[in-house]
Structure formats: C-alpha cells, structure tokens
Amino acid sequence: MQETERQLIEAIQAGDREALRRLYERYSRYAMGVSLRIVPEREDALDIVQDAFVSILTTIGTFEYRGEGSLRNWVAKITTNRAINWLKHHDRQLLSDQLPDEIEEEEEETPLEEVPPDILSGMIDRLPKTSRIIVNLHVFGQMPHKEIAHRLGINEKTSMSQLSRAKRLLAMMIKEYLNSQRT
C-alpha cells in the first residue's frame, strides 16, 4: 500500500531523511511534466525541477497538510512559479510579443479523451510558445487570466485570445490525429 502524503510529511517532520528521497521519487516526474509544459527545452526544465525540489525539500517544514493531493499541488505550484520566473528572465521575447487578438469562435466538442495522454501532451508542446504557456498556466495551473496577465506582463485579453487560439489549434491537431488513426 502506497504511503499517503500525510504519512510522508509526518516522516519528514520526524527527521526521516529518506522520506525526502521518497517525496522526490514520488513527484519528480510529475514536476518534470509540469516544468516541460511551460519550458519545453528539457535541459531548462530539468534545471527548474532541480531548483524547485531544493526549495520544496528545504521548506517542507512549512508545508501545511490539507488533505491528500495537497502536497502534489504544492509541488506543482512551486515548480510552476519557478518555471514562470525562469521564463521571465530567460525569454523576454514572450513579454514583448505583439500578439494578435484572435477572434473566439464557438468550437465543436473536441474529443480530447480519445487521444492518448502522451500524444496530447506532445500536441500541447507543439503549440506556439505564448499559447502553450497560457494553456498550461490556465488549464493545469488553474490560474485565472487576470493572474496570468499579471505574471507574464501581458494583457488579460491577450491571455484569453491566446487560449482560444490554442484550443482551436489543438482541436485541429486532434482532428488530424484521429483521422490518421482511422485510415
């Protein structure tokens, strides 16, 4: 039976250094997935995961357990914060992008669930940079557009239109993929 997050936290707080390793083993790949969604270059994403885990493991004592899954969310949040900060310092082009506002069209239901997760994740990686980041922050980071705009230094409307653009592009990619699977 897998150790619960609560047991893991209790072990860490009891001074069990091995528990830190277990936390890492449990969530490092997940954090890498989060990091890669925002920073697609693997080497950069790895740096971010490394920094995030040093921060997580060093400050784990301050983590307030609030139910199973809260530790996982915390890991995701810290990794996301690190990735955004990295992005802001290493990729200024994002901030100065002159992004055209996309006209939001009413899309038909996209059969997301028919696409295997690794393929779908690959599709997200192929999105234009700003759209990809906004999808990841909004969908996976569950950030409202206002916060995304604040964090990235872009217009709120731009955030919304880029999400719309991403949805349309993803829908197109999914459609192509599913067609190719049927033939």
Partner 1 sequence: MKQDRQQTGKHGPEKDWAQRLRDHLADYEAPVPDDLWEKIEARLPKEVVCPTPTPKKKARIVPLWARWAAVAAVFVGGLVILWKVEGGMWRSAEGRLLPEGRKNENRYEADQTTPPKGTPPNLGGESCAQGKITPKETISSDEKTEKESAEKPIQPIQSILSEEKPILPIQPILSEEKPKESEKHPEDVIRELDRKIMEYEQRRSHKASLNLYASNGFGNQSFRNGVLMSPELLANYDYYTNPSSVGTRGGNSPVYLANHEERQQFYQPISFGLSVNIPISSGFSASSGVVYTRLRSDFTSIANSLVYERQQTLHYVGIPLTVQYNVWQWRGLNVYATAGGQVDFNVKANVTTEGSETTLEKDDLQWSVNAAVGVQYNFIPQLGIYAEPGVKHYFDNGSHIQNFFKHRPTNFNLQIGLRLNMGK
Q: In this chain, which stretch among 50-58, 95-103, 126-134, 175-183 interacts with partner 1, using CB under 8 A?
A: 50-58
- Per CB under 8 A, the list member of 1, 89, 96, 105 interacting with partner 1 is 89
CA of residue 166 relative to chain centroid, distance: 15
- Per CB under 8 A, the list member of 3, 54, 100, 126 interacting with partner 1 is 54
Report if residue 17 touches partner 1, rule: CB under 8 A. Answer: yes
- C-alpha to C-alpha distance for 169 and 155, rounded to whole angstroms: 21
- Per CB under 8 A, the list member of 44, 99, 133, 158 interacting with partner 1 is 44
Query: Judged by CB, which is closer to partner 1: 105, or 180?
Result: 105
Give the nearest distance from C-beta 20 to partner 1 in angstroms. Answer: 7
- Per CB under 8 A, the list member of 1, 2, 15, 96 interacting with partner 1 is 15
- C-alpha to C-alpha distance for 132 and 123, rounded to whole angstroms: 10
Which has the closest alpha carbon to 34: 77, 94, 92, 95?
77
Give the nearest distance from C-beta 140 to partner 1 in angstroms. Answer: 6
Query: Judged by CB, which is closer to partner 1: 2, or 61?
Result: 61
Report if residue 73 touches partner 1, rule: CB under 8 A. Answer: yes
Q: Long-range contacts of range 24-28, CB-CB < 8 Å, 24 or more positions apart?
A: 24/53, 24/57, 27/71, 27/72, 27/75, 28/53
- C-alpha to C-alpha distance for 97 and 14, rounded to whole angstroms: 49
For the record, the structure tokens of 77 come out as: 């949040």
- Per CB under 8 A, the list member of 99, 102, 130, 138 interacting with partner 1 is 138
Report if residue 108 touches partner 1, rule: CB under 8 A. Answer: no
Report if residue 58 touches partner 1, rule: CB under 8 A. Answer: yes
Give the nearest distance from C-beta 38 to partner 1 in angstroms. Answer: 12
Which one-letter amino acid corresponds to residue 156?
E
Alpha carbon dihedral 39, 12, 65, 134, in 10-degree steps, equals 0
Helix H or strand E segment including 130: helix 129-135
- Per CB under 8 A, the list member of 100, 101, 117, 175 interacting with partner 1 is 117
